[in-house]
Structure 1
């Protein structure tokens, strides 16, 4: 296919692909022609094709998977967990307006597990914050967050319906969140969690335990998040290192991202 003179070639290719998508030539999650196929079709370099695909990806029309190719986006947005993000940032990337409903915010006696995670004495008191997390006013997740008293007291007086812990600590107190550890498992909704999320009791949930640390490996909070499994799944992309074929455990993680179903 010969391109016209005038606008840059990558723009013409992206416009052609855009029209194909608008006309329904390619369906949601359907794979687009490969870079080589597009190079041959338009008689252009791979650099030009990649620029065209990047334009469509930036517009949210396609998504690319390392080693697999380019695919048509559906109504779900991919977000990366290779970066440490909070709920507001995740929802923004998904094109949803985030908000929260505070269920409780109060001092509680620490459990053995929470004491271990926060590195506090077993007889300590910590701040517990329970929130229903919403995307476009629809329940997405329910959080139970435990904070050492020092960090918990910094949140007092803030509108936790709208502000995030990361935002308050980093922007107002210059306390950076430097590292996070995650543990993901499947579980079932207890009665109270089910009521908040609007699902049936014992409905399948995706549960994420999260420990966030600041400078000096100091725990800021330990959190247990219950995601509605009909609203979110996780996708994993790993790259095989040819130099370490005998050691699968060394396969570097390229992307680990939640996909939110609107």
Structure 2
């Protein structure tokens, strides 16, 4: 029986295809990739190697690799994104708290098929609890936007932003994340942000927007962003489905002697 070894991009894994096995080559490749998915070898992004890389690794044609990917996709193991590659299905979105980045940007930079739908845009009086942060402003622009990945809602964002943003079109406000809008209006991106993480149950409105049962536990990220001169330029609350979302942070601690 002829066997050809194929070494993974990870040094811990060595796989072999049995060319005369009754199981087709593409099914063997799919099985090997599934083992590696379960072992977490494609962390943290969840992106699989390209078809060409897999073909070279196993010494098979791209047609065979495509059949293996098709099998994994049909079983719900991976998702294939046009022009971006293939990713582990159900992969948790990771939001790094040690990087100043818009919520939508954090999704797209992970190669996710992220959508942002503007549900509401209106000019409002500065809420009493935000008056000190936005002083001397008396009015703000309130944006309500639904964030989705692969067509599934992951978060509802409510953002209080400078009132001048209400002059922008619906299309512009739907297409650009908050920090890009602030840079367009203010000439600079936020220099720092204060972030708090908590949890709450979904009320009827949140449950409907996020397609979850009422009472479902949600993560809540509350963020206040500031320009380099100390002016508050954004206060946002994101209500997040936790099963596909994780906050991460890298920290270095000084060891006391």
Bin the TM-score by the shorter chain. 0.5 to 0.7
TM-score by length of 2: 0.64
Match of 2:202 among 182, 189, 192: 189
- 1:113 match: 129
Match of 1:202 among 215, 228, 233: 215
Q: Name structure 2 gaps, 5 residues minimum.
A: 1-6, 16-30, 50-87
Match of 1:142 among 140, 151, 156: 156
- 2:56 match: none
| Deviation of 1:163 (Å) | 1.6
TM-score by length of 1: 0.62
Counterparts of residues 149-188 of structure 1 (less than 5 Å) = 149-150=163-164, 152-153=165-166, 155-156=168-169, 158-170=171-183, 174-188=187-201
Q: Secondary structure at the match of 1:95?
A: coil
Q: Name structure 1 gaps, 5 residues minimum.
A: 1-11, 33-54, 63-72, 246-262
Q: Is the 8 A contact 1:102 1:132 kept in 2?
A: yes
Count how many residue pairs are aligned between Structure 1 and Structure 2: 197
Q: Secondary structure at the match of 1:215?
A: coil
For the pair 1:225 / 2:238, whether they are aligned, the reply is: yes
Q: Equivalents in 2 of 1:15, 1:221: separation in Å?
A: 42
Counterparts of residues 1-40 of structure 1 (less than 5 Å) = 14=9, 16-17=11-12, 19=14, 22=32, 28=38
> Residues 49-92 of structure 1, C-alpha deviation per residue, up to 9 Å, x if partnerless?
xxxxxx99788469xxxxxxxxxx88335453311111232112
Shift in CA distance, 168/236, structure 1 to aligned 2, threshold 3 Å? closer
- 1:103 match: 119
Shift in CA distance, 158/179, structure 1 to aligned 2, threshold 3 Å? farther
More deviation, 158-167/102-111: 158-167
Shift in CA distance, 79/19, structure 1 to aligned 2, threshold 3 Å? farther
> Residues 116-168 of structure 1, C-alpha deviation per residue, up to 9 Å, x if partnerless?
332346xx222111111112221010011112323x34544642222222223
- 2:139 match: 125
Q: Is the 8 A contact 1:188 1:203 kept in 2?
A: yes
Shift in CA distance, 145/15, structure 1 to aligned 2, threshold 3 Å? closer
Match of 1:84 among 76, 87, 100: 100
Q: Equivalents in 1 of 2:181, 2:166: separation in Å?
A: 12
